[in-house]
Amino acid sequence: DTVALLLSNEPDFVHVWFGLAKLGCVVAFLNSNIRSNCLLHCIRSCEPRALVVGADLLETVEEILPSLPEGITIWGMSDSVPQGVTSLKEKLSMASDRPVPRSYHVASSLKSPHLYIFTSGTTGLPKAAVISQLQSLKGSALLWGFGSTANDIIYITLPLYHSSGSLVGIGGCVELGATCVLKKKFSASQFWNDCRKYNVTVFLYIGELCRYLCKQPKREGEKDHQVRLAVGNGVRSDVWREFLDRFGNIKMC
C-alpha cells in the first residue's frame, strides 16, 4: 500500500514515516504548503490507501474532503479531528507495545520503491519522483561521506517533504547515530541563535538559505559558534564568499 503524509517538520513526521517503512509501505511526502487543487492532484497521482495529516494541517484537508477519491482513510495526528477524519492519536494510545508480527512485513529489494517525493511544481503541477530503497540508503550516507560523525549535532531547517531534509538530514542522522535539531520552519533571524543554543556543528542548506543569512543585519559575534560543516547545493559563488567571510571558516559541501 501507499500512504501519503501531510505533516510539518515535527517528530511525528519521522515516527510515521519510519513505522510505515518498517511495514514495507510506500510513503508519499506531500508538500505542507500546497492547497486545494494542487494538493488534490498530488494525492490522486500517488493513489494512497491512507492519508496521515498533522494537527496543524487538518483545516487544509477539511477543505478538500468532499473531493478526495473514495476509499482513502484519513488519519489525523490530534485527539480532536473534523468529521470524516479518524484520530490516529486515539488509536496509538490503544496500540500494543509488542513487536509487529513478521507476517505484516512486506519483503522488498533495493530496487523496490520507498518514497514518492514531489517536485516543486514551478513549471506546472508537481510530479512524483519515485525513490527506491537503494537511493534512500545512498542519500542517508551523504553526511558521512562529507565528514560528519556520531558526535555532530545536525541542524535541519529544510522541509522534510524534500529529500534534503528527510533522506540527507534525518536519514543521515540515523546512519551516523548523530543528534538532530529539527526546526519547524527556517528563520534567518533565529538561525545563529539556535546554532549557539544547541551547540550545532553541521547544518543543511540550499543556496537561498545562505543568501537570506547574508541579508540579515550584521551583529557582533557572528563567528561565535561551533558550526564546522554545511551540506547542500545551489549557493552562488559570490554568496559563498560573503558567507565564509562573514560567518567564519565553515566547510561548504
Residues 106 and 185 both lie in one domain:
no
Residues 42 and 131 both lie in one domain:
yes
- pLDDT at residue 34, as a whole number: 92
* Residue spans of beta strands (DSSP E) within 80-234: 86-87, 113-118, 128-132, 153-156, 179-182, 202-206, 229-233
Residues 9 and 101 both lie in one domain:
yes
Crossing angle (nearest 10°) for helices 207-214 and 237-247? 50
Residues 180 and 116 both lie in one domain:
no
Over residues 37-62, the pLDDT tens digits come to 999 999 999 999 999 999 999 999 99
Distance of CA 189 to the CA centre of its chain: 21
Domain limit, last residue, from 110, 135, 160: 135
Alpha carbons 16 and 209: distance in angstroms, whole number: 27
Q: What CATH number does the domain containing 177 carry?
A: 3.40.50.980
Residues 100 and 172 both lie in one domain:
no
Under a CB-based contact definition with an 8 Å cutoff, are residues 30 and 112 in contact? no
Which residues share a beta bridge with 42?
none
Over residues 102-121, the mean pLDDT reads 86
pTM: 0.93
Residues 17 and 95 both lie in one domain:
yes
- pLDDT at residue 106, as a whole number: 74
At residue 18, does pLDDT exceed 80? yes
Which residues share a beta bridge with 131?
115
Helix (H, G, I), strand (E, B) or coil at 144: helix
Strands 202-206 and 2-6: unpaired
| Widest pairwise Cα distance in the chain | 59
CB neighbour class for 80 (10 Å; exposed up to 12, middle 13-18, buried from 19):
exposed
Domain of residue 10: give its range.
2-135
- How large a percentage of the chain has pLDDT more than 90? 87
Q: Which of 50, 214, 46, 194 is nearest to 130 (CA)?
A: 46
Alpha carbons 218 and 192: distance in angstroms, whole number: 12
Alpha carbons 43 and 65: distance in angstroms, whole number: 12
- pLDDT at residue 100, as a whole number: 79
Alpha carbons 239 and 105: distance in angstroms, whole number: 47
Domain limit, last residue, from 94, 109, 135: 135
Residues 178 and 204 both lie in one domain:
yes
Residues 129 and 155 both lie in one domain:
no
Residue 184 burial (CB count, 10 A): 11
At residue 107, does pLDDT exceed 90? no
- pLDDT at residue 231, as a whole number: 98
Over residues 229-248, the pLDDT tens digits come to 999 999 999 999 999 999 99
Residues in CB range of 25: below 8 A, 6 or more apart: 1, 2, 3, 106
Domain count, the chain: 2
Alpha carbons 54 and 52: distance in angstroms, whole number: 7
Residue type for 128, please? A
Q: Which three cell numbers stand for residue 212?
A: 537570506
Mean pLDDT for the chain?
A: 94
Over residues 167-220, the pLDDT tens digits come to 999 999 999 999 999 999 999 999 999 999 999 999 999 989 999 999 999 999
Residue type for 38, please? C
Residues 110 and 33 both lie in one domain:
yes
Residues 129 and 146 both lie in one domain:
no
At residue 94, does pLDDT exceed 90? no
pLDDT band at 98; cut points 50, 70, 90:
confident
